[in-house]
Amino acid sequence: MTRMDEVAVTAPKHHQSAWASARAGDFEAFFELHHERLFRALWLLTRNRQEAEEVMQDAFLRLWERWDRVVGGPDPAGYLYRTAMNVWRSRLRRAAVAARKVIHHIQRDDEIAEVEERDAVVRALAPLPPRQRAAIVLMDVLDLSSDQAGEVLGIKPVTVRVHAARAREALAHEMEERHD
């Protein structure tokens, strides 16, 4: 008959392994490291500060609920971005349904309105299809590779490149039109 305290004594010295130190990573530190960058990118995607913060918080909360798995996995930041994109898409779907029922519609906020007034590129981002917007924000704002962005969006890297290229073309065209 062996008791739990004996198990603990005979357990391997996990903390000596590199894996263990990574796994024991601190969620708060992870949050501090990633939240600002994610928030800025989400702001461009959602065009609304409040919406960006909601998506960011939901993504972090979902990650936190399963932090021991996420931090033990290969790419916690990738997991975060993937979750954020899923939350955003899910909220977009809900907003679309709500808009049809004339209950609620996400408005752009004053800060993005100011930037859009000034910058045609940002203004041209708004009407792009969500996939194109996501692709260009992931690749050009968050600097992910097409492989990484593909994992985040759940599509093939080549498809991400196509979406991003189309988005860039649209934005470049807008710049030429406006000569700015």
Partner 1 sequence: MTDVRERLKNATEFVTLPERPFERLLERRDRKRRGQRLASAAVAFAIAAAAVGGGVLVLFRLGQDHVETGGGWHSTKALALQSGEYFYLRVESSEEVDGRIRDEETWWGVDGSGEVRNDSTRQDKYPYPPSGTYGPGAFPIWSDVSDLSPDPSVLAAQLRQEPWNHFEGQPEFERMWDVASFLLTELPTPTPDLRAALFDVARDIEGVTVSENERDPVGREAMSLSFSDAKHGATWRLYFDPGTHQALAWTFSSDRGGESWEIFESGIVDAAGVKPEGEQWLVPPLEGAAR
Q: Which of residues 28-67 bind partner 1 (CB under 8 A)?
A: 28, 31-32, 35-36, 39-41, 43-44, 49, 52-53, 57, 60-62, 64-67
Interface with partner 1, residue 86, by CB under 8 A: yes
Rounded CA-CA distance 21/44 in Å is 35
Q: Which of 24, 96, 97, 158: binder of partner 1 (CB under 8 A)?
A: 24
Angle at alpha carbon of residue 44, lines to 170 and 66, rounded to 5°:
125
Interface with partner 1, residue 12, by CB under 8 A: yes
Written as six digits, the tokens of 113 are 């309105």
Q: Which of 51, 55, 85, 138: binder of partner 1 (CB under 8 A)?
A: 85
Rounded CA-CA distance 112/44 in Å is 8
Q: Report the site for partner 1 in 112-171 (rule: CB under 8 A).
A: 112, 114-115, 119, 121-122, 125, 136-137, 140-141, 151-154, 168, 171
Give the chain's length: 180
SS3 of 3, please?
coil
In the complex, the smallest distance separating the C-beta of residue 11 from partner 1, rounded to whole angstroms, is 5
In the complex, the smallest distance separating the C-beta of residue 30 from partner 1, rounded to whole angstroms, is 9
C-alpha 87: how far from chain center: 9
